[in-house]
Structure 1
Amino acid sequence: MPSERLVEENTKRRKIFQAALFALTLGMLVYFCVSGNNLAVLIQSLPNISLFWMLCAAASVFLNWMMDSLIIHTLIFHTSGGRYGFGSAFRVTMVGQYFNSITPYALAGQPMQFLALTGQGISTGVAVSTLVKKFLAYQTSLTVYSLLVILVKYKFFQSRIQGFMALAFVGFLYQAALVVALVLFSYSPGFTTKLIRGAVWVLTRVHLVKKPRETGEKVKGQLEFFLENNRALQGKRSLGVKIYGFTVIQLTALFLVPFFIYKAFHNPGAPVVDMISAQSFVTMISGYTPLPGAAGAAEGSFLVIFQMFFAPGIIQQAMLLWRLLAYYSCIVVGAFFAVPERRRAGMKSARAANAAEPPVREAGQAANSGGIKHE
């Protein structure tokens, strides 16, 4: 029967995709271990490392994931007014962590999170709205965080890293430009519509969308809900405080990882604020590198900036531990969540979320009645 054949084809594709992800994950781990004799360097550093502080560093990475999941959970729960499990939100987070880590500029993270959300039964309007709001909060928080660090710690770093601060300013401008683009996407219907048309055209060209007109109509039908949802949340100050609060905690947790590694090597204690600031500079500088995981730029900027804190004999080991915890852990753990879920109409969280989502239907009706013109 056609339905059975379709199920078999989907199962086969899932298995191929899963095997490809496993091979890619294993290959990146092997590369990390072999490149520059990294594994031997890490093994050499083990006797000198405090297990307690390394557990703190690992916990900090995990807290980063948990805050990201909490943001997704809060936004979807608030938007739909129904139930949405935290476990489902954590899965979406790890899908994003994985594909952000393996693609240049982290380009595949949000599209794959979108697929994960819709696979859980979340409507396209809620999924897009959630991801855009989350990314806007992240980029805005990172930009403000970076600006404060530049204003407060500029002289401190400029006196120790001659000429290197220019790269930090370029990174800051890059982050700020992303925020402007996201604001236009969120609050400009014309810009959003053109962007959606362009995305559908690209997906059609690469044969990921078979019915471009029908797909475009469906997406535009959700656009009105997306825009109305953005307007409705402008007055929700308590929700905004929560989202931005979670995001600041998320960023701070990630920026604390080098400090805990510093303590793991039994260092007496550089000011934690200085090390958080240093890591924010590393994030700014490596953010515009067009390689998966900002390869090269992340390691290089860490070695240059953190040489102020680590002794020459251990900074290489510290960099590898930081990279292993903050980057490769996202690949290893995320690989277990990266395979798409089977669409299940009976999923409790999806049923509850969509059952309590009358605005989506209203948005679709508004679109079909002239809210958005269909060409």
Structure 2
Amino acid sequence: MESKKKWIFNIIFLLLIFAATFYGVFHGKDMGRIIEIIKTVNPFWLIPGVICVIIFIWGESIIIHYLMHSLGIKVKKWTCFLFSSVGFFFSCITPSASGGQPAQVYYMKKEDIPIPISTMVLLIITIIYKMVLVLLGIALVIFGQGFIHRYLSDAIFWFYLGMGLNVVCVAIMVVFAFHPNFAKSIMIKGHILLERIHILKHRKSRAKKLVQSMDQYRGAAVYLQENKKVLIVVFLITMVQRFALFAATWFVYLAFGLKGTSAFTVILLQGSIAVAVDMLPLPGGMGISEKIFLDIFLPVFGSMLLLPGMVLSRGLGYYTELILSAIFTIVANFTIGRKKKSVVEKC
């Protein structure tokens, strides 16, 4: 019942944010004119934009497959792609992308992947995923002050807020990932506290299971610490994955037949939006992403094409990702764990 209420809340929250965003962006605008302008784009250039989104989803599946195999867990690449799709779908529809990893852990458990291992793998992915944004932000602050003053002046607060939140988040996750004994101590003390204040009933079996889980978690953490090459490979794949999604806006730019702004600039601008909104408690950064786009992309698209450009860019970067991941989440729901279940039924 509680899970169903949470689902209803998330859906209502998503619809309210979407409605508020739609109203805020298009209120007082000539929708007919916007649609007419969008119809003039060259659809040829939107195809590689969609491919960029697929690479983004597919990239995480490669990382999951690579990390699982490095930890001795056999899992098919197609199953990993479904895990990735599930994560992105639930991240797109929940505040701060909070629903992605729990959903992935649930589906991985259906494939008999131990929860401590799946948690550790997803923690590593999240750390490096956010670290790419942190390094991008730091690089801009150190080497790109001219870029920041030219393009980001109207969104500077959001940029630095996002930077700060990402740095804090990465620091906390690094402690848990690479100091497993400390993480184990916190988890055990937290469990004892929850029992003392009567949120959880005292059960020796639960405490024993928690200790065993954290020991398994520690084993995975130690393995990754001793295999730095694994982390380097994951970092490089994540770089390609993240910048592929940023590049989708470049293909929107080309679809309008525009010239004069480099792909490097457009990709950095889209990356700056990701830095700003990644940690904010909004599904897919909805609302604030559109606002920042309209603030910083004006010199790139011009006043006439700015709003149509935003519509197509967000259409590719968020809504296409949402639709594709939703389709494969449905596939995951009907396929993951089903073979094992059918074997049990036959027996």
Q: TM-score higher than 0.5 here?
A: yes
Q: 1:234 aligns to what SS in structure 2?
A: helix
Percent identity over the alignment? 21
2:332 aligned with 1:346:
no
- Once residues 71 and 196 of structure 1 are traced to their aligned partners in structure 2, the CA distance between those partners, rounded to angstroms, is 30
Partner of 1:235: 226
Deviation at 1:176, TM superposition (A): 0.9
State the Cα deviation string for residues 91-146 of structure 1 (Å, max 9, x = none).
Answer: 11111111111111111111111111111211112211111111111112221122
Mapped to 2, the partners of 1:65 and 1:196 lie a distance apart of 35
The aligned counterpart of 1:67 is 59
Q: Where do 5+ consecutive residues of structure 2 fail to align?
A: 343-347
Find the counterpart in structure 2 of residue 360 from structure 1: none
Quote the residue 1:136 is aligned against. 127
* Number of the residue aligned with 2:114: 123
Structure 2 residue 69 is the aligned partner of structure 1 residue 77: yes
Cα pair distance change 1:210/1:87, threshold 3 Å: farther
The residue aligned with 1:353 is none
Q: Distance in 2 between matches of 1:321 and 1:28?
A: 21
Alignment-derived partner of residue 44 in structure 1:
36
Are 1:263 and 1:269, in contact at CA under 8 Å, matched by a contact in 2? no
Match of 1:165 in 2: 156
- Shift of the 214–40 alpha-carbon distance from structure 1 to 2, 3 Å rule, reads farther
Indicate if the aligned counterparts of 1:75 and 1:130 stay in contact, CA closer than 8 A: yes
Alpha-carbon offset, residue 86 of structure 1: 0.8
Does structure 1 residue 104 correspond to structure 2 residue 95?
yes
Q: Distance in 1 between matches of 2:261 and 2:50?
A: 20
Check the 8 A contact 1:120/1:347 in 2, yes or no: no
Cα deviation for residue 346 of structure 1 reads 3.0
Q: Does the residue aligned with 2:112 lie in a helix, a strand or coil?
A: coil
Following TM superposition, by how much is the alpha carbon of 1:47 offset from its aligned partner in structure 2, in angstroms? 2.7
CA distance in 1, matches of 2:37, 2:114: 49
Q: Deviations over 1:257-296 (max 9, x none)?
A: 1111111110014111111111111111112322222222
Show the counterpart of 1:265. 256
1:224 maps to 2:215: yes
The letter of the residue matching 1:44 is E
**Is residue 2:77 matched to residue 1:86?**
yes
CA deviation profile, 1:174-197 (whole Å, cap 9, x unmatched)? 111111001111133233443477
Describe the SS at the equivalent of 1:346: helix
Q: Which residue of 1 aligns with 2:266?
A: 275
Distance 1:134 1:288, change over 3 A: closer
Asked whether the equivalents of residues 200 and 212 of structure 1 are also in contact (C-alpha less than 8 Å), the reply is: no
Once superposed, what is the RMSD of the aligned Cα atoms? 3.5
- Pair 1:250 & 2:241 matched: yes
Aligned partner (choices 39, 50, 56) of residue 48 of structure 2: 56
Partner letter of residue 93 of structure 1? Answer: S
Post-superposition Cα deviations, 1:286-307, rounded to whole Å, max 9, x if no partner, equal 1232222222211101111111
Report SS of the residue matched to 1:312.
Answer: helix
- With the length of structure 1 as denominator, give the TM-score of the two structures: 0.76
Report what 2:293 is aligned to: 302
Secondary structure at the aligned position of 2:301 is classed as coil
Considering fraction of residues, name the structure with more helix. 2
- Aligned partners of 2:103, 2:212: CA distance in 1, in Å? 21
Greater shift in the superposed pair: 161-170 or 254-263: 161-170
C-alpha distance in structure 1 between counterparts of 2:191 and 2:60, whole Å: 26
Distance change in 2, residues 1:299/1:33 (3 Å):
closer
Q: Paired residues, what number? A: 330
Query: 1:199/1:163 Cα in 2 relative to 1: closer, same or farther (>3 Å)?
Result: farther
Quickly say closer, same or farther: Cα 1:25–1:65, change in 2 above 3 A: farther
Q: Is the 8 A contact 1:138 1:247 kept in 2?
A: yes
The 3 A distance-change label for structure 1 pair 244 and 225 is same
Query: CA distance change for structure 1 residues 157 and 33 in 2, over 3 Å: closer, same or farther?
Result: closer
Q: Secondary structure at the match of 1:268?
A: coil
Aligned to 1:8: none
Q: Secondary structure at the match of 1:263?
A: helix
1:153–1:196 Cα change, 3 Å: farther
